[in-house]
Chain A
Amino acid sequence: MLAKEIERAGVPTVFVTSLPTIATMVGANRIVRGPAITHPFGLGEADRRRIVDRALEMLETDVEPTTVWEVDPA
């Protein structure tokens, strides 16, 4: 809901979550699937960097509504 409302205000927002189904249901548009509920940005710095890179790439991309991107495994 936060993602949707911030995007409604015109600010591109990537939602990193391990539950993209719920994010899709409520209408978030830019979704990156994180590895786990307890650590959506991974455990180590390398994982975190890959997830953040993917999220930044999505901010730089025009997307269709409720798009979900995966992060390539290391």
Chain B
Amino acid sequence: MRAVHYLNQFFAGLGGEEAAETPPTRLEGPVGPGRGLAAELRGIEIVATLACGDDYFGEHEEDALARLIELLEAERPGLLIAGPAFGSGRYGFACARFSRTASDRLGIPALAAMHEENPGVGSAEGTLLVPTAVNVAGMREALPRMARLAEALVSGRELGPPDQEGYLPRGFRRNRMAEKSGAERAVDLLLDKIAGETRTEVAGGFDRVPPPAAVPDLSRALLALVTEAGCVPQGNPDRLPTIRAQGWLRYELGGVQTLASGEYESVHGGFDVTLANEDPNRLVPLDTVTALAADGRIGRVHDVFYTTTGNGTPVASATRFGREIAAELRDAGVEAVLLSGT
């Protein structure tokens, strides 16, 4: 199996901060930490090292990624390994973005390594990340862990949970059969906690957003309707999935005052849609808000509604949908949103 290794200018031996503007460069075979990594890898050969200055990457992200992808593709690798970046934010960001982009654009399996609080973790978007120490003192532990996960990743078997395989939780949940009931596991967790070890089965890590200030004058505000209840025009013309949606849809309302049965329906696969399809306003209350707008309680109702299926959606996907919809709403001058979920 051919692999490519990504390093920043420092670890590639090109120089320190003075070389941080170095554009993407190809080096033959493993370099620097790549040599130690190569010694750990079984059945995987590092055929080339790609390096880029941290500042160059941060300041010219699109150009840097385009060139790195070009260089990567030329190697016809089966795997990309990036870092370890430890606690270095710019380096970690480059590792995460390059890994993510290699998977997205070329379909190449990729992993990166960095400290769990490296800002790159936030831009990994589901990329496999091996946790490391905060600085280079952790190199010796990091390399074997990266090698084991690399081997697992290209083995073709399904990866186990993060704590078994040695990667950072990505916010995905998978169902599995447990040997003990929930009650027994809860008691075990409690006893462990009393003994001094606190564990959880619930993935954490959701950030918090401070609530924006109240709408100053709703009677002048533009209000938009958004739903994750899978509400679409009858017949689902754009084939919104019933589960694990990959995106969201926007529909012009064309001035209609209500979501009439027979003209709109829900395709959400996570609940019984019978009651919703009898009257889709039960999911997206267009009839009520248009009446309130006519009464002057609301300024105007946005003539576009946004919809997706919030069912089995990974956190990273839902976050992306939210950001994309938010950008459109903001551009349209929307000042208030009524969002419905099931």
Interface flag for A64 (CB, 8 Å):
yes
Given known contacts A12-B215, A12-B337, A30-B211, is B319 in contact with A5 (CB within 8 Å)?
yes
Q: Enumerate chain A residues within 8 angstroms of B211, measured Cβ to Cβ.
A: 7, 12, 29-30, 62-65, 67
Interface flag for B133 (CB, 8 Å):
no
Interchain CB contact under 8 A, A52 and B339: no
Given known contacts A2-B321, A11-B334, is B273 in contact with A38 (CB within 8 Å)?
yes
Q: Select the residue from A3, A13, A25, A48 with max chain B CB neighbours within 10 A.
A: A13
- C-beta contact mask, B26-51 vs A, less than 8 Å → 1, else 0? 00000000000000000000000000
Q: Select the residue from A3, A9, A23 with max chain B CB neighbours within 10 A.
A: A9
Interchain CB contact under 8 A, B339 and A14: yes
Binds A, one of B8-16, B107-115, B138-146, B274-282: B274-282
Interface flag for B323 (CB, 8 Å):
yes
Q: Enumerate chain A residues within 8 angstroms of B275, measured Cβ to Cβ.
A: 38-39, 43
Interchain CB contact under 8 A, A3 and B339: yes
Interface flag for A69 (CB, 8 Å):
no
Measured between alpha carbons, how far is A62 from B282 in the docked complex, in Å?
A: 27
Which A residues from 1 to 39 make CB contacts under 8 A with B? Answer: 1-19, 23, 25-27, 29-30, 34, 37-39
- C-beta contact mask, B257-301 vs A, less than 8 Å → 1, else 0? 000000000000001111110010111110111001000011000
Instruction: Closest A residue to B202 by CB, please name it.
Output: A25
Interchain CB contact under 8 A, A1 and B322: yes
Measured between alpha carbons, how far is A29 from B338 in the docked complex, in Å?
A: 13
- B340 contacts which of A17, A29, A61, A62 (Cβ < 8 Å)? A17
Given known contacts A27-B207, A41-B285, is B212 in contact with A10 (CB within 8 Å)?
yes
In this complex, the interface size class of chain B, counting residues with CB under 8 Å from chain A, is 35 or more
Interchain CB contact under 8 A, B209 and A4: yes
Measured between alpha carbons, how far is A48 from B298 in the docked complex, in Å?
A: 16
Interchain CB contact under 8 A, B330 and A10: yes
In this complex, the interface size class of chain A, counting residues with CB under 8 Å from chain B, is 35 or more
- C-beta contact mask, B299-342 vs A, less than 8 Å → 1, else 0? 00000000010100101001101110111011000111111111
Interchain CB contact under 8 A, A23 and B341: yes
Interchain CB contact under 8 A, A12 and B338: no
Interface flag for B96 (CB, 8 Å):
no
Q: Enumerate chain A residues within 8 angstroms of B229, measured Cβ to Cβ.
A: 40
Spell out B's residues near A (CB within 8 Å). 206-215, 218, 226, 228-229, 271-276, 279, 281-285, 287-289, 292, 297-298, 308, 310, 313, 315, 318-319, 321-323, 325-327, 329-330, 334-342
